[in-house]
Structure formats: C-alpha cells, structure tokens
Structure 1
Amino acid sequence: MMVNAELRQLYPDSDELFEIVLMTNNDAKVGVRLLNSINHYELTTDKFCMMGGQSPIGFLKAYMTNLYLSEDEEKVTEAISQGIACGRCLARRGDSSLITCCNGIAAATMFTAGNVENQLSDTQLRVAFDGDGVLFSDESQIVFNNHGLDSFHENEERLKNQPLQQGLLKYFLEALVKLQNKFDKSQMCPIKTYLVTSRSEVEAGARVHKTLQSWGLKIDQFMFLAGKPKGPPLQKIQPHIFFEDDMKHINLVRELGIITAHVPYGINNM
C-alpha cells in the first residue's frame, strides 16, 4: 500500500502501519487457492486467519482490529455486538432511552459498486464518512426521524456546545488521524478523510465541528449537503470507501460506482 510505503520511508523502525488480515471460516486446504487469487489480483494481505468452518469473529480483538469489513451482514452484526458488549450505555438527557456507544470493533457490510467504473487514486487513500449513525451516535437522527427537520435544527442549536456521542466508526477515524499526524504539513499526506452528511452547516454544522474538536480529531474536507443527494460530491471525491448507515443513500451512490460500506447501527436500521 502507498500509505505504508511512505510511512516506512519516514519511520523505518515503526510498527504503526496499515495491516490487512484476511479472515475466513474456510479450511486451510483452500489456502493455496487464496494465495493464487491474491497474487493474480495483486492484492496486499499481511496475515491469514482460516478457521476451518468456525466464525473468525472471536479473533478480531486478538488481532487488535480497528475495522472489520465483510459482505456477510450476520458476521458484521456479530462483530459489532462484540464491540458493544465491552462498550458503555449512556442515558440521553431528557429521555429514558439509551444510546449505545461502542468502544470496541468498528464493522461494516461491504457493497460493490455498480456498473460505473471510477478511477481511484493510487497515491492517496480517500475515506469518506457519513456523520450521524456512523462517526456520531444516532441521537440527533432519532430527533429528525421522529419529529422532523425543524425539531432537529432546534435540537442541534440547543445542544450545539454539547458534543455528540461517538458512533461505531469514531475509533477507525482516530486510527487514520494518528497515521496522518506522522506526516508534517510540508508533505502531501497519503490519507485524506471526508465527511459527507445530509446536515446543513448553517443550522446543524456547529455541533459537528465542536464534537470533533472535543475528540481531538480532524476531518480534511466537509460536505454539508442540506438534504441534497450525496452522489455528486462523492463522484468528485472518488473515495476508496464510503461509510453510511442509511441503505437508501447506499443504493443511490452505488449506481454511480462508489464503493460503499453499510454500518448497521442506529435508528435507520431498525
């Protein structure tokens, strides 16, 4: 990977690199075929975990996994459940219900792009995130879904100085930012992050910025779309992956050739 190549050049003795582990419930007998396929497609895989018919999810923490991706929704849900089991539940102010915050494993279901083939950068890793239900909890999404846009804006204005609770992908962003910080400002960083959200910056952007500041994290570019379609800006960004909790948005952007990962979390997935 281009990110690891640049990190090794700057920090030859550092172990803080991207590490890709192929985890499968297949038997070790298929190992040769897997290796042949990896070599054929010129993929980068550092380690293998072959479980001989058992689920590999129990080994995610052993591999210190920051992000688990799979096309198997059941395995993704199982991975998220493991993370939530070691997380904490925080009561929402003024509400007896609970927000579940994951301190464990970020996981998402992969969807291949549609028939459109986009040209992805081979010099920069571009990762795009939705906000509510992905980087952040679904606490504000609940207000929008249950009470409408005006109530959502009122809620965000009232709570603009109160950081949002973390979502499932917060710790993956944290890992990306940690790697980004290894590059000084004079260098072009080989990792770029984007927030692509349906929020309006004028009515609901302040809380997003203040939340990220309170976490000590940064996003390189913000796309506050105020309800407009996410497809056009994502086509311009050409991300290697876009994390989204709402299948409605995923189905639309996939048709434009965007590689997406569904985060099965929160009110949009109930």
Structure 2
Amino acid sequence: MPVSFDGKLVVAISSRALFNLSESHRVFEEHGLDAYREYQVAHEDEALEPGDAFPLVRKLLGINTLAGDDTRVEVILLSRNSSDTGLRVFNSIEHYGLPITRAAFAGGQSPHRYVSAFGAHLFLSTAAEDVREALAAGYAAATILPSGALGRHDGQLRIAFDGDAVLFSDESERIFQESGLEAFAENERRAAHEPLSGGPFKGFLSALHRLQSEFSPEQSPIRTALVTARSAPAHERVVRTLRAWGVRIDESLFLGGLDKGAFLEAFAADVFFDDQARHCESAARHVAAGHVPHGVTNERSGEA
C-alpha cells in the first residue's frame, strides 16, 4: 500500500529558512555556482546553525512526541540545492535529531511546484519569488523574515495570524484601501452576518484546528491567535465567519491600528503571518514573522 499523508499536518520548508546559510549564499552571490558547490562539499560535515524557522519546525515535530506517534505532523524539505550540495543540509538535520526524511532538491529551480505533490498545507521560504508562486498556485506560503527573536522551549506551539488577506480574503481590505475607514466600517456593519471568503491561510488554519481537536483544550500542544487591526464594530463579521467555518481560534486581539509587536510578544508567538511587510518587520523584533505577499496591499506595492 502506498504511503499517505491523509490526516497529517504537512509543512514544507526551504533549507535557508530551516538553517542559516548566509555564508554559503554569500559565496554563491560573489563567486558563482561552482564555488558554491565546492564550498558546500568541503563543509558538508560541519553542521549549519539553526535558521529563523528552526524553532518553529522543532516544535511542529515535537507534537508527534507529545502525541506518542509520528502520524500527526510531517515536515518536508524543499530546496533549490542539488542533492550533491544539499547533503550538508541533510547532515545538519541528522545532527540536530530532526525527524525530517523527505525532500525535493530542485537543482537551482524553484521547488514550489512540489508543494502540491507533497500535499503541504504550508510552505515557508526565504525566497520571496518562490513564495509568490506558491500563493499564486493557491497554497498557503510565507517569506520568513530575519529575526533576532529566540524560540521558547515550553513545548506549546503558538501561531498568530492577521485576518484580512491572510485567513480571510482581501474583499474588505479593498474597500478600506479604495474608500477609507468609514466605508470599510459601514460595509462590515452591513455584512456582519455574511461570512468572509477564505484567504490563502484558511486551509492551514483548518488543518491546525483538526489537529487541535485531537487534544483537550487544556492539553493541546497548539495555541492560535488572530491579531488584527480591526476593532468594533468590524469584529463581529470576523467572529461570525470563524463560527461559520467551524474553526476555533484560541485568542483574538482586535487592536484598532495599534502596533502588533508588543501584543505578539505577550502572546509568545512562535510565528506570526501578515500580508503587510511593515507589520511583519515590527513583529520580527519580537517573534518570528512570515510575510504573506497576497492581496491588494501587495498589489499596490508591486510585491504580489
């Protein structure tokens, strides 16, 4: 019988998000592919330092340990390396004892096309173009930003999301961008009982919710939060949308435009996903952050 990921939460991650490859990437940019290949082969027995998404991956995989089996979470490595230059990455995975056994080495091309083949619910990368291509193909994806934040070691995975253009479509955000705050508030008041359409991260949130549902709320290894610039009365449509989806969000922060960084630090997020680069940059001073280049804001900035 073929192996199946049915029922698993599947996350795909690039080698540069998982490990710090800044030195070898510098060699590639300054001296070219041949020098990069020689450098990686010469150093393939030296373990790479953890990257910005390493603590998140370690906690994701730790859920299997808490659950007592390996049927809950699968992490897949998707890399632009060849298998030859990627040997150092797999050696580093073994060094840190990460149970990652599946990978696609795309030999210099974007590996985003394997997100679908592996059935991944989320793709994390430091390559913005790969992330944009994955989003355009209909998959949740985010560009991991450099961050000095240290991962917590309490075992519980805490994931925070922005609302519009991330969990939800950008339909309401477009009204705000085109007609201003008053028009946005009036639209949300009028449409309070109409669920918002799903955004690129709806499927990932649903997969998280299914995994959470296997545990009691008191013992769940995952905690989620919605951290949004919305405030009353625009909160009601969000609450009713999540209720219509049958999805649980553990904490909801309606900040009315306040800076999100301090609140994400208070929530102790392991990662925060937002469509606006400025919010991600603010968050990255406190927690790991993933920019989701989707929706009207990124269209206007030329990033989508």
Give TM-score, length-normalised by structure 2: 0.75
User: Of residues 210, 218, 237 in structure 1, which corresponds to 2:240?
Assistant: 210
Q: Which runs of 5+ in 1 are unaligned?
A: 84-104
Q: Which runs of 5+ in 2 are unaligned?
A: 1-60, 300-304
Partner of 2:145: 111
Partner of 1:101: none
Q: CA deviation at 1:147?
A: 1.5
> What amino acid is aligned across from residue 230 of structure 1 in structure 2?
K
User: Of residues 272, 295, 299 in structure 2, which corresponds to 1:242?
Assistant: 272
For residues 180-206 of structure 1, what are the alpha-carbon distances to aligned partners after superposition, in whole Å with 9 as ceiling and x for unaligned?
Answer: 000134x41000000000000x21111
Cα gap change, 1:45 to 1:122, in 2 (>3 Å): farther
Do residues 29 (structure 1) and 95 (structure 2) align? Answer: no
User: Of residues 167, 170, 180 in structure 1, which corresponds to 2:199?
Assistant: 167
Kindly tell me the number of residue pairs found equivalent between the two proteins. Answer: 239
Do residues 195 (structure 1) and 226 (structure 2) align? Answer: yes
* RMSD of aligned alpha carbons: 1.6
Q: CA deviation at 1:156?
A: 0.5
Higher mean alpha-carbon deviation, 117-126 vs 148-157, is at: 117-126
For residues 159-188 of structure 1, what are the alpha-carbon distances to aligned partners after superposition, in whole Å with 9 as ceiling and x for unaligned?
Answer: 000011110000000000000000134x41
Partner of 1:253: 283
User: In structure 1, what is the Cα distance between the partners aligned to 2:151 and 2:136?
Assistant: 35
Cα gap change, 1:112 to 1:212, in 2 (>3 Å): same
Contact kept? 1:2, 1:122, Cα under 8 Å: no
Indicate the SS of the match to 2:118: coil
Identity %, equivalent residues: 41
> What amino acid is aligned across from residue 258 of structure 1 in structure 2?
V
User: Of residues 195, 210, 214 in structure 2, which corresponds to 1:182?
Assistant: 214
For residues 74-122 of structure 1, what are the alpha-carbon distances to aligned partners after superposition, in whole Å with 9 as ceiling and x for unaligned?
Answer: 1111111222xxxxxxxxxxxxxxxxxxxxx1111111214xx445243
Contact kept? 2:276, 2:297, Cα under 8 Å: yes
User: Of residues 183, 186, 190 in structure 2, which corresponds to 1:151?
Assistant: 183
User: In structure 1, what is the Cα distance between the partners aligned to 2:112 and 2:223?
Assistant: 29
Cα gap change, 1:235 to 1:159, in 2 (>3 Å): same
Contact kept? 1:19, 1:46, Cα under 8 Å: no
Contact kept? 1:71, 1:111, Cα under 8 Å: yes
For residues 120-159 of structure 1, what are the alpha-carbon distances to aligned partners after superposition, in whole Å with 9 as ceiling and x for unaligned?
Answer: 2431010000001100011111111122211111110000
Indicate the SS of the match to 1:182: coil
Higher mean alpha-carbon deviation, 22-31 vs 260-269, is at: 22-31
Indicate the SS of the match to 1:173: helix
Partner of 2:62: 2
Do residues 230 (structure 1) and 252 (structure 2) align? Answer: no
> What amino acid is aligned across from residue 217 of structure 1 in structure 2?
V
Do residues 67 (structure 1) and 158 (structure 2) align? Answer: no
Cα gap change, 1:121 to 1:268, in 2 (>3 Å): farther
User: Of residues 239, 264, 269 in structure 1, which corresponds to 2:293?
Assistant: 264
Counting only pairs closer than 5 Å after superposition, residues 5-84 of structure 1 correspond to structure 2 as: 5-7=65-67, 9=68, 12=69, 15=71, 17-83=72-138
User: In structure 1, what is the Cα distance between the partners aligned to 2:259 and 2:246?
Assistant: 29
Partner of 2:27: none
> What amino acid is aligned across from residue 71 of structure 1 in structure 2?
T
Indicate the SS of the match to 2:117: coil
Contact kept? 1:196, 1:230, Cα under 8 Å: yes
Partner of 1:93: none
> What amino acid is aligned across from residue 205 of structure 1 in structure 2?
H
Partner of 1:137: 169
